[in-house]
Amino acid sequence: MKAMCLDHPGPVATNPLKEADVPIPEPGAGQVRLEVTHCGVCRTDLHIVEGDLPPVKVPVIPGHQIVGIVDAVGPGSRRFRLGDRLGIAWLNWTCGRCHYCTAGRENLCEAARFTGYHVDGGYAQYAVMDETFAFPIPDTFTNVQAAPLLCAGIIGFRSLRLSEIRPGERLGLYGFGASAHVVIQIARHWGCEVLVFTRGQAHQQLARDLGATWAGRAEEIPPHPLDSAILFAPVGTLVPEALRALRKGGTLAINAIHLSPIPALDYSQLYHERTIRSVTNFTRQDAEDLLRLAAEVPVRAEVEIFPLRDANHALQRLKAAELRAGAVLEMP
């Protein structure tokens, strides 16, 4: 099969992903194999490719927003049938026994494995997956539309929950890429007022098109205090900017697996019971809830499609903030 493989992390400008012919994987016990049609391109892929996240499998096939059709099942696999359309996301496997798993917090599992990082992912024509960590795709979505929901959507939805926003309240979004442009659609569905902080004029216009009542740069003071905020941009210097915009008792959720250093904070920025919290991975319940809600809204992801061989170029465009929203790789 054709795949884009990472042998050695390096700057994405050097095209570290190499096109290769590799064996088609065989599903093991309790696994299914997908013939992949599309795979979303995520900023976490960029962190893996460039080595911001230390390598754990070399070589590795990145990609964890995978949509495809079941074409083979392993021994004992009974949940899905040949021909079913499924999605594979970042959370690949958890132990089910540790303190976090038994407490309903499998996103923090000590032994968790992640797709496209610990195991090969979806920048390839085929992928295998434990059937209990695969998700049926609602009929509402095409394969292209579904791909960004499997990470940008799921982790954005978890961030929205952890921001403690309530229907009708005022939400600030810092950064406006693949995840934020899904989140704004859910927040507007809940009747929230949304303000967007992003430097790009095109991103500001997309935010307005999707219902933002205000869009400007992160350094600007919004017209009204925020009840909650989510930081999507992996830029630590935006943390004090977001805190400055929060009302008393407000929460800032940081949606980032890798973040540049946060400047020293004056306690007055946290005082009055403001909260900062990180967002780490997601649970299968988050994924199921997001896919159901996205179909109800319905969420419409805006994406640019690239052929698989152009994965490096898609990541370069992502890093340079040249994508209007998201990117999806299409398999040959």
Q: What is the full per-residue pLDDT of the chain (332 aa) written as tens digits?
A: 999 999 999 999 999 999 999 999 999 999 999 999 999 999 999 999 999 999 999 999 999 999 999 999 999 999 999 999 999 999 999 999 999 999 999 999 999 999 999 999 999 999 999 999 999 999 999 999 999 999 999 999 999 999 999 999 999 999 999 999 999 999 999 999 999 999 989 999 999 999 999 999 998 999 999 999 999 999 999 999 999 999 999 999 999 999 999 999 999 999 999 999 999 999 999 999 999 999 999 999 999 999 999 999 999 999 998 998 899 999 99
Structural domain includes residue 191 = yes
Q: Tell me the two tokens of residue 94.
A: 């958890």
**Same structural domain for residues 189 and 137?**
no
CA distance 58 to 118: 9
Residue 289 is assigned to a structural domain of this protein: no
C-alpha to C-alpha distance for 167 and 163, rounded to whole angstroms:
12
Element (H, E) at 53: none
Give the pLDDT of residue 324.
87
Please tell me whether residues 39 and 81 are part of one structural domain: yes
Looking at the structure of the chain, the number of domains it has is 2
Which amino acid appears at position 26 of this protein? E
Note whether 168 and 190 are same-domain residues: yes
Same domain, 102 and 165: no
pLDDT in the model for residue 292: 98
Q: Are 195 and 226 in contact (CB under 8 A)?
A: yes
- Angle, CA of 227, 229 and 233, to the nearest 5°: 165
pLDDT tens, residue by residue, 5-31 = 999 999 999 999 999 999 999 999 999
Q: Are residues 221 and 84 in the same domain?
A: no
> Which pLDDT score is estimated for 237?
96
User: Does residue 122 form part of some domain?
Assistant: yes
pLDDT of residue 47: 96
Both 84 and 220 in a single domain?
no
pTM to 2 decimal places: 0.94
């050097």: which residue's tokens? Answer: 14
CA 86 to chain centre: 17
In a shared domain, residues 72 and 174: no
Residue 210 lies in a domain: yes
Q: Strands 214-216, 193-197: parallel, antiparallel or unpaired by DSSP?
A: parallel
Task: Name the CA dihedral angle for 184, 236, 311, 4, rounded to a multiple of 10 degrees.
Answer: -120
Residue 312 contacts by C-beta under 8 Å, 6 or more apart in sequence?
4, 12, 15, 16, 17
Is the same domain home to 43 and 57? yes
The C-alpha torsion from 62 through 68 and 71 to 74, rounded to 10°, is 50
State the amino acid at position 102 in one-letter form: T
How high is the pLDDT of residue 299?
Answer: 97
Measure the CA–CA gap between 76 and 29, rounded to whole angstroms: 6
How far is Cα 165 from Cα 87, in angstroms, rounded to an integer? 28
Q: Within this chain, do residues 165 and 73 fall inside the same structural domain, yes or no?
A: no
DSSP string, 250-267: EEEEE--SS-PPPPP--H
250, 128: one domain: no
Asked if the structure places residue 175 within a domain, the reply is yes
Domain range for 73: 2-150+298-330
pLDDT the model gives residue 198:
96
- Looking up residue 207, the CATH number of its domain turns out to be 3.40.50.720
pLDDT at 151: 96
Do 109 and 13 fall within a single domain? yes
Judge whether 140 lies within some domain.
Answer: yes
Closest CA to 11 of 60, 47, 64: 47
pLDDT for position 325: 87
Q: Are 257 and 53 a contacting pair, CB within 8 Å?
A: yes
Q: Could you tell me which of 113, 158, 147, 85 has the C-alpha nearest to residue 303?
A: 147
Note whether 199 and 65 are same-domain residues: no
- 285 belongs to a structural domain: no
Domain CATH for 102: 3.90.180.10
Q: What is the pLDDT of residues 149-206, one digit of tens each?
A: 999 999 999 999 999 999 999 999 999 999 999 999 999 999 999 999 999 899 999 9
